[in-house]
């Protein structure tokens, strides 16, 4: 007695899929093994946490599980590793300057506490990478222990106030506006925009305010922020954080202003955003070559599900 037609078709389809799966295993890109030249040298308990949660994609020592070796998961894993190491490689940690290491630790802590790293898609099958509150607290305490208070004297505060007043009164002519190597211009109008949020960088003792242009503010009011609409512009301004003898905190010297400009067509190669940073009162564009924009994208990649934007509007 013949099997029903639908059963025979099901068996054929399964056989074809199994054959394709087997053939797919024959095509395997090479996982290039690289040496550990300057591994992360923090406390062992902190390193153990980072190794469990981060090293698979951010070091030269990925620990692939058996299911990671099956195609097409294997190709996806290798692509994630290359992309991850391009942004941060713990195996080369010691090659960074101490200040850069501190900044990276702050970024790591920020991404862990906000849940943007490790990626949710990675945690589904790699449950050990899902850090619990106690593990996060260990990393937080380690980073906090590296921070020192920076009380400012009166002369430094007065100098900062003078600089801020001069900067606030500055009027740049349109033909003299600086721009980055990728053609992203300085936006002087941000001084009249509304505040979206604030951040405090404890690693380098700076205060930051994020401003949004009218397009961004309208999107926030209408709850249309993922994706952000075309024409959205954010300006993040950073100052030194000054603390007087009474513990009062205020902005100090101007450090830099950073921009994200949404234009999906113009900036299609950098995830639809134009990226810019202008440093010091001279508004010097950041970046020695156009590759700086890739650096920006890699930093914001953990927020790809939020249109690459870290900033969450302040809730009233």
Full pLDDT tens readout for the chain, 316 residues: 555 666 667 777 777 777 776 777 777 777 778 888 889 988 999 999 999 888 988 988 888 888 887 788 888 888 888 888 888 899 999 888 887 888 888 888 878 887 778 877 788 788 888 888 899 899 888 888 876 666 666 666 777 777 767 766 665 544 578 999 988 999 989 989 999 998 877 777 788 999 999 999 999 999 999 999 999 999 999 988 887 777 777 788 888 999 999 999 999 999 999 999 999 888 999 988 888 888 888 888 878 888 999 887 765 5
Q: Per CATH, which fold does 154-306 belong to?
A: Chalcone isomerase (3.50.70)
Strands of 206-212's sheet, edge to edge? 194-201, 206-212, 233-243, 249-262, 273-279, 284-285
Please enumerate in sequence order all residues whose Cβ is within 8 A of that of 251, keeping only pairs 6 or more positions apart, or say none.
Answer: 160, 164, 207, 239, 240, 241, 242
Cis peptide before 64 (omega within 30 of 0): no
Half-sphere exposure of residue 133, counting CA atoms within 13 Å on the CB side? 0
Domain residue spans of the chain: 44-144, 154-306
pTM above 0.85, yes or no: no
CA distance 279 to 176: 16
Beta bridge partners of 236: 210, 258
User: In the prediction, which pLDDT does 174 show?
Assistant: 46
User: In the prediction, which pLDDT does 194 show?
Assistant: 94
User: In the prediction, which pLDDT does 155 show?
Assistant: 66
Task: Give me the residue label for tokens 């053939």.
Answer: 23
* CA terminus-to-terminus distance, the chain: 72
CA distance 243 to 150: 7
């Amino acid at each position: 007695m013949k099997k029903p037609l639908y059963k025979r078709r099901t068996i054929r389809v399964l056989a074809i899929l199994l054959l394709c799966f087997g053939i797919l295993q024959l095509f395997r890109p090479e996982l290039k093994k690289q040496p550990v030249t300057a591994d992360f040298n923090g406390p062992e308990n902190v390193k153990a946490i980072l190794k469990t949660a981060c090293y698979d994609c951010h070091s030269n020592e990925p620990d692939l599980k058996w299911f990671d070796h099956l195609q097409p998961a294997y190709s996806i894993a290798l692509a994630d590793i290359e992309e991850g190491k391009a942004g941060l490689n713990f195996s080369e940690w010691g090659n960074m300057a101490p200040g850069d290491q501190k900044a990276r630790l702050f970024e790591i802590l920020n991404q862990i506490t906000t849940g943007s790293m490790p990626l949710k898609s990675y945690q589904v099958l790699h449950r050990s990478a899902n850090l619990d509150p106690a593990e996060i607290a260990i990393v937080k305490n380690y980073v906090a222990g590296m921070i020192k208070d920076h009380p400012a004297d009166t002369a430094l505060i007065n100098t900062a106030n003078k600089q801020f007043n001069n900067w606030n009164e500055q009027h740049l002519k349109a033909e003299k506006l600086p721009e980055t190597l990728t053609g992203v211009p300085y936006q002087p109008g941000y001084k009249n925009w509304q505040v979206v949020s604030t951040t405090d960088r404890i690693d380098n003792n700076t205060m930051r305010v994020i401003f949004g242009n009218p397009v961004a503010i309208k999107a926030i009011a209408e709850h249309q922020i993922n994706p952000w609409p075309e024409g959205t512009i954010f300006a993040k301004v950073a100052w030194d954080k000054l603390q007087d003898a009474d513990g009062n905190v205020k902005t100090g010297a101007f450090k830099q202003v950073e921009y994200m400009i949404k234009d999906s067509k113009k900036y299609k190669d950098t995830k639809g955003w134009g990226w810019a940073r202008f440093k010091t009162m001279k508004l010097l564009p950041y970046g020695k070559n156009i590759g700086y924009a890739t650096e920006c994208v890699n930093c914001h990649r953990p927020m790809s599900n939020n249109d690459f934007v870290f900033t969450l509007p302040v809730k009233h």
